C-alpha cells in the first residue's frame, strides 16, 4: 500500500485574491493531498487539506501520518528531522527525498549491487534534530540516479526492501503530479468561477467529488474505459437514467475506419530535366 503526499497551488488574482496573499508576485491557495494507490492503474485522494498558499507543506500534512500499513512517499517540502524521529519510533514507514546538502553520518554502508549502476549508495545513517543535538534518528539512506543522470537522495524506514525497490517507490511519486494535472485540465480546477473564500473552497471540494464519482463508477462497473472517458459520459448522461448511462458505457465502438489521417503535404513539384532531340536541318543551296 502506497500513499503519496504533495500539494498543488491554485493562483488567485491580485485584487480579489488578497485574502490568499503569499508574496508580492502571488496570491494563491493550496490543496494538500494524500493520494492512495490501492488499485492497479488507479489512484484516489484519501485525504485533502486546503490552505492559503503561504502555508508550508510541512505545516499541515506531516502530522497526520498514522497508518502503519502504508508507505508514505514525500518530496523535499516535507523535510523535518523531528518528525522523522517521531515516525521512526512509531514504526511509520516512509520514503522522503532530502537535500543534497542534508547532513547525515554514515553508521554502516550496505553493499551496492554491481548489476544496477543506477544505485549509487545504500547505507544506514544517523541524522541530528536541529537545535536538539542529543536527539538523533537512525534511518536508511539510498542515493540513485535516473535516466537523465539526475541524482536523488532519499531516507526511509523500509529496511526490508532492496535499494532498487526503494528507488522505485520514490519514482512512483509522479502519479500525484499526473493527478494534479488531470484535475486542472479535465475538471478545470485551475479556473475559478468566483474568488470569494467560500466559493473557492466549495469549487475545489466539488471538483474532488466529481473525480471520486468517476472512480466509483469505474470500480462498480469494472469498465476498461479511462477515467477521462467516464467523465465525458457522465457529463452527457447526467440528466438521464442509470440504465442509459450503463448502455453508453458498455457500448462497443462502432467506428471501423482509421479515423482522420494526416494528409501528405504536396510540396514543390519535381523538376525533370528537359530531354532534347538531335535537330537535323539542311540549309538549301541555290
Sequence spans of domains, the chain: 2-179, 191-250
pLDDT of residue 122: 95
Give the Cα separation of 20 and 10 in Å (integer).
Answer: 10
Half-sphere exposure of 5 (CA within 13 A, CB side): 25
Measured CA distances, 189 to 9, 99, 134 (Å): 10, 31, 46
Check if the beta carbon of residue 72 is closer than 8 Å to that of residue 92. Answer: yes
Give this prediction's pTM. 0.82
> pLDDT means per 10 residues in the chain (286 residues)?
94 92 91 87 90 90 84 93 92 94 92 90 93 90 93 95 94 93 94 94 96 94 92 94 92 68 67 68 49
For residue 48, give the nearest of 196, 227, 176 by alpha carbon: 176
pLDDT of residue 286: 43
pLDDT of residue 264: 66
**Buried b / exposed e along 48-70 (16+ C-beta atoms within 10 A):** eebbbbebebeeebbeebeeeeb
pLDDT of residue 142: 96
Check if the beta carbon of residue 187 is closer than 8 Å to that of residue 211. Answer: yes
Give the Cα separation of 38 and 18 in Å (integer).
Answer: 39
Q: What is the CATH number assigned to the segment(s) 2-179?
A: 3.90.350.10
100, with CB counted inside 10 A (0-12, 13-18, 19+), is exposed
Q: Grid coordinates standing for 66?
A: 498514522
Amino acid at each position: 500500500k502506497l500513499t503519496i503526499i504533495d500539494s498543488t497551488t491554485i493562483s488567485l488574482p491580485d485584487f480579489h485574491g488578497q485574502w490568499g496573499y503569499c508574496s508580492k508576485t502571488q496570491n494563491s491557495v493550496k490543496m494538500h493531498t494524500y493520494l492512495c494507490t490501492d488499485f492497479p492503474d488507479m489512484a484516489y485522494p484519501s485525504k485533502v487539506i486546503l490552505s492559503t498558499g503561504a502555508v508550508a507543506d510541512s505545516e499541515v500534512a506531516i502530522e497526520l501520518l498514522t497508518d502503519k500499513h502504508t508507505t508514505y512517499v514525500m518530496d523535499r517540502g516535507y523535510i523535518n528531522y523531528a518528525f522523522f524521529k517521531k515516525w521512526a519510533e512509531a514504526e511509520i514507514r516512509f520514503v522522503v527525498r532530502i537535500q543534497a546538502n542534508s547532513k547525515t553520518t554514515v553508521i554502516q554502508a550496505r553493499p551496492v549491487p554491481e548489476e544496477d549502476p543506477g544505485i549509487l549508495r545504500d547505507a544506514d545513517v544517523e541524522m541530528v534534530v536541529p537545535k536538539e543535538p542529543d536527539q538523533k534518528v537512525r534511518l536508511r539512506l539510498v542515493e540513485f540516479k535516473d535516466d537523465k543522470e539526475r541524482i536523488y537522495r532519499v531516507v526511509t524506514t523500509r529496511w526490508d526492501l532492496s535499494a532498487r525497490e526503494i528507488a522505485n517507490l520514490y519514482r512512483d511519486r509522479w502519479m500525484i503530479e499526473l493527478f494534479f494535472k488531470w484535475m486542472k485540465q479535465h475538471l478545470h480546477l485551475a479556473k475559478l468561477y468566483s474568488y470569494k473564500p467560500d466559493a473557492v473552497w466549495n469549487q475545489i471540494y466539488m471538483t474532488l467529488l466529481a473525480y471520486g464519482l468517476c472512480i466509483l463508477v469505474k470500480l462498480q462497473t469494472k469498465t476498461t474505459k479511462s477515467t477521462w472517458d467516464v467523465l465525458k459520459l457522465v457529463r452527457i448522461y447526467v440528466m438521464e437514467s442509470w440504465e442509459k448511462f450503463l448502455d453508453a458505457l458498455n457500448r462497443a465502438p462502432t467506428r471501423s475506419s482509421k479515423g482522420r489521417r494526416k494528409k501528405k503535404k504536396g510540396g514543390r513539384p519535381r523538376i525533370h530535366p528537359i530531354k532534347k532531340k538531335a535537330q537535323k536541318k539542311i540549309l538549301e543551296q541555290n
